[in-house]
Every structure is written in structure tokens, then in C-alpha cells.
Structure 1
């Protein structure tokens, strides 16, 4: 699975040198606070307190709250994607197997701190274009690439015809997980992901001539 690389370290704005080892601690604190209080109530003071660092440490990295959150969102699910890629192979040798791995990975994401933070941010994105752009260029880009790679492998195996990537069929396969996560508020687990493969994905693909 493709994973976004961590952003390059920014040049220091003066004072003591920046300690890159604290970036992960600060970003984790931001995710927890976003899930707890949302974007509107998030403050730099709260981030510093939650991360156990001084405000100067925060301001050496980010000048404003929006800059802080945009930077975090840009790399929002890289850690989860990296952990999944290390634990399970992206290429199982079949489209059905790849679908199960990928949808289970999506389940892990929506149930992670990054997923909770995403839920909290959705209502703010329409008022903050920089947040929306960071989301499209971060988490959405990671998962689009993962699905595109899966369809490309299936084409090479002769399981599906070309053109599925980005199609309505492709969007329909992931939609039930997003629907349950963001709209229904019901539990999203691996059993549900497997049911989506069996009841939604495979029948739709077979109806379209896929050899799965």
C-alpha cells in the first residue's frame, strides 16, 4: 500500500533548534483533541498541554492553529497505512483477497484516532479550504492510490477489464463502510468488511464480467 512520506523538516524560525522527535507526540495530541473537542474548540494551549510540551515548542513548528491542523491532516493516516502494509501483504494474488485486506485496512483506519479526528473535522472543512485540500492530498490520496494499485493488479491478472479505477462500481464497493461510519453510526468491524466483499463487491464485479 502506498504511504505518504512524512513532510520535510521546516527551517527553524529562530531560538533553540527544533526537536523532530516531538513531532509524533504533538500530532498524536492533536488527533486526540480533534476527536474530543473538534476543530473550533481546539487551541494551541490545549495542544501544548495534551502533548506535554511548552507553547514555544508548538509555535516553532506552526504559526497558527490552521497551519498546525493542515500539517497533521496531510499526514493523517500514514502511520496506520504503514502498520497495515507491514502486517499484511497488499498483493494476495487475487482480487477477492486484495479486497478483503484493503477493506479491513479501511476498518482499522475508521476505528483509529485518525478516523475519530476525521469525523470531527468534516464539518469544518467546508469553511476552511486549506483543511479540505489537505484531506484530499493526504488520507484520500493514500486510499485512492491503494485502490488504484489493487485494480491495476486485477487487470494484469485478467480478473477485470480496464477502466474500473475511479468508476462508479469502484466507488460503490467502499461506500457501505463510509455510510455506516459517517451516517449510520453503527459499528464498523472486520465482519462487516467481509460482508461487503461477499454481498456487494463480488456480485457487482461478476455482473460486470469480472472473473472473481
Structure 2
């Protein structure tokens, strides 16, 4: 990411995306979102397949067919404290991307973030932890192309052990991170970690 402190981003992601009010009222044990299994973690060898990078173009929409995600994307900037802003909690089916960083499809690490729930129920990335390796993520871009990403891994990190460099570090090919909340749930502090999807560009098509 460009000109943004990784620790600040990790902190705001772990806090602001983790509402938990719905779980508090409906029972965390029976309504908790799915969490990634060990089988969804990074394999021993990275996927060698990769498509050529696309030119920069802002994204408009993200779709993850296997978990029924189809949501508009809005640009996210930085708060006054210098941390990454988050999508408004009032719209459950809305995700955001860091618009001062890499656009999805160009070389580097593009960041998409969204809520796991709101006070009223599940939000856009509620089922992110159920995503499997090899699944496809589609990102509509303003240049008319749809960037196609293949999921390499889905992992969960406790907030105190969030691997900033692994998640936000620069990449030599077009990569994507999709982030929401996960892990254990505390009535006092909410979700205790983050679910992170790692994916890389494997193709594109006309929108």
C-alpha cells in the first residue's frame, strides 16, 4: 500500500469492521459467521498461474459467486488520525476499497474491506470465512473490464497477531486482499480478529 502505515490500517480494520451488536442480541454461539478452516490456509507452494497486469482503473463492484456476494464498492480514504476509513455501517451490502492505493488488477496489492455484520444482521462479508481456495472473485472496473481473481488462501488472525506485512505488503503481481472481522467474539470488545482472503489476478473479460 502507498503512504499508509500498516499498523494503523490493521487497527482500524480489526475495530471498525467488527460491529457484533447483532450477535449480542441474537446469541454469538448460534449466529457466529463461518470461520476459515486449516484447509483454507496458504498451501506449501504459491499458485504459479497469473494474468498480465491491467492498467489502473477504479473498481465499481465486487462479486464472489460462491458465497453470493454482489456489492457496490466505494472509495475509502484515511481518517483524521491517519488510519483507513471504513464503509458506512448503515448499508449492509456495501464494501470499500483503498482508493489511494493499488486498483484491483494492476500490479501490487489492492485492498477491499467490508463489514461482517451490522446491528440489524449479517453484512456483505458475513460468509467470507466459508470461501474456499480456488474460488473466483470478480471486480468490475470503470474501464469496462472485469478483473478475475483466484483465491489462494483464507486465513483468520487474532488482532494482536495481525501480520501487517503479509497482508498489506507490496506484491510483484496483481493481488487482492478482502478483509472483514472474525475469530472469537467478546461481549466487551466484539470480534477479536480478522478474516483475510488472499487472491491473485488470473484473467479478465469485458464487462
TM class by smaller structure: under 0.3
Bigger proportion of residues as strand: 2
Task: Kindly indicate whether structure 1 or structure 2 has the higher relative contact order, using CA contacts under 8 Å at least 6 residues apart.
Answer: 2
Q: Which has the larger radius of gyration?
A: 1
Bigger proportion of residues as helix: 1
